[in-house]
Chains A and B, each alone.
Chain A
Amino acid sequence: MDNKNISIIHPRPSSIVAALYTLRDLNVDVAILHGPPGCSFKHARLLEEDGIHVVTTALDESGFVFGGHDALVNILHKVNDMFHPKLIGVVGTCASMIIGEEMREPVMEANLDVPVIEVEVHAGYRNNTKGVLFALESALDAGIIDREEFSRQQHLLEEATNVELRHGAASKEYLAPSRGDVKYKVAQRIIELLKEGKRGITIMNAKKETGYMFADITLAVNEVAEKLGKADNIINMSNTDVGLGLPRVRHHAECIMKDFEEKGLNVHEIIGGLDEYPVAGATIDKLIEEKYSDYDFAVISGVPHAIPMDHLAGMEIISVTNGPRQVLPLKELGHEHVLVEIDLHPKTLGVNHIVESEFGATLREVAKESL
């Protein structure tokens, strides 16, 4: 692994938010952010769209000086009365952690009949996956997950960190955000390739709920291929193993597979679970080597930078990401066309069906024109 010790100066996902998302995947009903009211606002709101309640102890200057013990006890009682949760999460923030807040004691004092997962986390970690790890450790302590799942998740996190260090958001000191290539032109190119009789692979290697939109890319490519009479030219891979991952993640895989089935889409290769995007690369690489090395192009969606270039190198690569800072690293890897699905996250939270993507829609429209 290329273990550069660079100081990254562009804003990155935060470990506090990563902890929140992990609590969501563990199916907490309420997540309490212990800190200032503005902390992680955007993600907290998004998670509320996803069906969990996110509240804050709203520490102010007085809270920073005198601590937030009472505020946390009070809010634990309040959310218990208001939402009757079955599982609660408490997440630290930079402010509460810097002043040395202790979260165990208020949880004991509140003495609720509900299990509480406490995550002592701030956003000052080099790897934001720390937030996930801390949440999982607390979940293990609270008996919410078993040791085996914990170890599996821990391994995936290490690999996710490596993926980001190699070719992702942590690979360079500064990465300028970019919207990527023009979708219209790339759509034309795919149609051109299909018309020429070229053979392609769609690879959905998506992270959890983002799969609801990346799956639409797979659908669109197949629809267009069918219209052009080239349905057999396409091989589909997706990381939608329904038997792997935390409860919510498995559920996402089921929903996506159900939609694929309804649309008559055949997934030729299941390359892992929806949380296995950092390790699916090896499986994909092997499959291509053994079965598809003579294919002409690949449409990769989700986390394209997690897939090694070894056996993709001869193909024309179209990759679709939701990270505006991912464009440059992907271009450097040799992906000819890189597209960004902006606003993907807000659209994929709180859903249980495939969501139309901008590129999918563009491809369908352009195909209509060219038929």
Chain B
Amino acid sequence: MNVHKRIAIYGKGGIGKSSTASNVAAACADEGYKVMIIGCDPKSDSSITLLGGKRIPTILDLLRDGVDVKEEDVVFKGYKGVQCVEVGGPEPGIGCAGRGIIVAIQTLKKISRSLNEMDLIIYDVPGDIVCGGFVAPIRKGLVKEAYVLTSGEYMPLYAANNICRGLAKINTPLSGIICNSRSVSREEEIVTKFAAEIGSELMAFIPKEQIVQDCERDGFSVMEKAPDSNVAQVYRKLARTIMERDSSVMPEALDDDRLRELTK
């Protein structure tokens, strides 16, 4: 095997990056890949469904306590051996989350040997690309390609478009658009069109199904708790697509007028 996929998943806050990331991680682990997931969201919710609902100490929690951090302190094996890391962050309104990501990524690079042994590393990046700190995984060379998650609604598409602009700026190719459905009208058509117009394509259309929520509430991925469900098949297919995909583009963001027209 020995692939070296290093991907980041971007998208508007609350659009479902973490559940998509953890289900893709679980699906790839099912296929026998060595997978690591690095959650950059201060709520630490990227890995929780891979660990049976348990929270792990974050890199920044330990740094705050002045711990001389070792790999075993922050890298935890979850479902089918998926290595889980959480960056953590400050409380809302104080400190600097962007700086936090920079410090955590530097620490992880220094202490983790298994980083280099992974077939797939998924960075679950918080929200939009908003400051230097949030692109640290890319700038520090740990991410080679990006996926953008959106629904067919206007605001997530607006964010997705902005992210594409950001990716082009930091010279990071886009490997594809993923639609996490919110069951709005003509959703697949709109997102397919959006993907094509920025020069990319739609990788997967994840239907809105209650089972995803139910599994999440129990603290598990769909892959673990409902492997035979319809949506599990979708994640499995997406996981294969990601692992096999070898083309990517420098996205060309749309102007605001075109974006609005698209969603009408």
A interface residues (Cβ-Cβ under 8 A, vs B): 61-62, 64-67, 69, 98-100
Contact = CB atoms under 8 A, between A and B. Distances in A.
B93 to A, nearest CB: 8
Given A61-B103, A99-B99, A66 B94 contact: yes
Contacts of A65: 60, 63-64, 89-90, 95-97, 99-100, 103
B263 to A, nearest CB: 34
A33 to B, nearest CB: 18
Contacts of A64: 95-96, 99, 103
B66 interface: yes
Given A65-B89, A66-B90, A100 B96 contact: yes
Interface in B49-105: 60, 63-64, 66, 89-91, 94-97, 99-100, 103
A99 B95 contact: yes
A232 B64 CA distance: 71
Q: Which 3 A-B pairs have the closest CB atoms?
A: A67-B95, A67-B94, A99-B96
Nearest to B104: A65
A83 B202 CA distance: 66
B92 to A, nearest CB: 11
Given A61-B99, A65-B100, A66-B95, 9 more contacts: A61-B103, A62-B64, A64-B99, A64-B103, A65-B90, A65-B97, A65-B103, A67-B96, A99-B96
Nearest to A105: B94
A65 B64 CA distance: 9
A346 to B, nearest CB: 35
B91 to A, nearest CB: 8
B94 A61 contact: no
Contacts of B99: 61, 64-65, 99
Contact size class for B? 10 to 19
27 contacts: A61-B99, A61-B103, A62-B64, A62-B66, A64-B95, A64-B96, A65-B60, A65-B64, A65-B90, A65-B95, A65-B96, A65-B97, A66-B60, A66-B64, A66-B90, A66-B91, A66-B94, A66-B100, A67-B90, A67-B94, A67-B95, A67-B96, A69-B94, A98-B96, A99-B95, A99-B99, A100-B96
A100 B97 CA distance: 11
A61 B103 CA distance: 7
A99 B99 CA distance: 9
A99 B91 CA distance: 13
Interface of B: 60, 63-64, 66, 89-91, 94-97, 99-100, 103
Nearest to A63: B95
Contacts of A99: 95-96, 99
Nearest to A64: B99
A109 to B, nearest CB: 13
B104 to A, nearest CB: 9
A69 to B, nearest CB: 7
A369 B97 CA distance: 68
Contacts of B100: 65-66
Nearest to B93: A100
Nearest to B66: A62
Nearest to B106: A61
A193 B213 CA distance: 93
A155 to B, nearest CB: 37
A299 to B, nearest CB: 52
Contacts of B90: 65-67
A8 B90 CA distance: 36
Nearest to A68: B95
B220 to A, nearest CB: 31
A143 to B, nearest CB: 29
Contacts of A98: 96
Nearest to B95: A67
B98 to A, nearest CB: 9
B164 to A, nearest CB: 28
Contacts of B60: 65-66
Contacts of A69: 94
B82 to A, nearest CB: 26
Contacts of B103: 61, 64-65
Contacts of A67: 90, 94-96
A165 to B, nearest CB: 32
A301 to B, nearest CB: 46
A100 B95 CA distance: 7
A151 B147 CA distance: 57
A369 B186 CA distance: 99
Nearest to B103: A61
A67 B95 CA distance: 4
Nearest to B89: A65
Nearest to A62: B64
A318 to B, nearest CB: 51
B110 to A, nearest CB: 13
A62 B60 CA distance: 8
Nearest to A102: B94
A62 B96 contact: no
A65 B103 CA distance: 8
A58 to B, nearest CB: 13
Contacts of B63: 61-62, 65
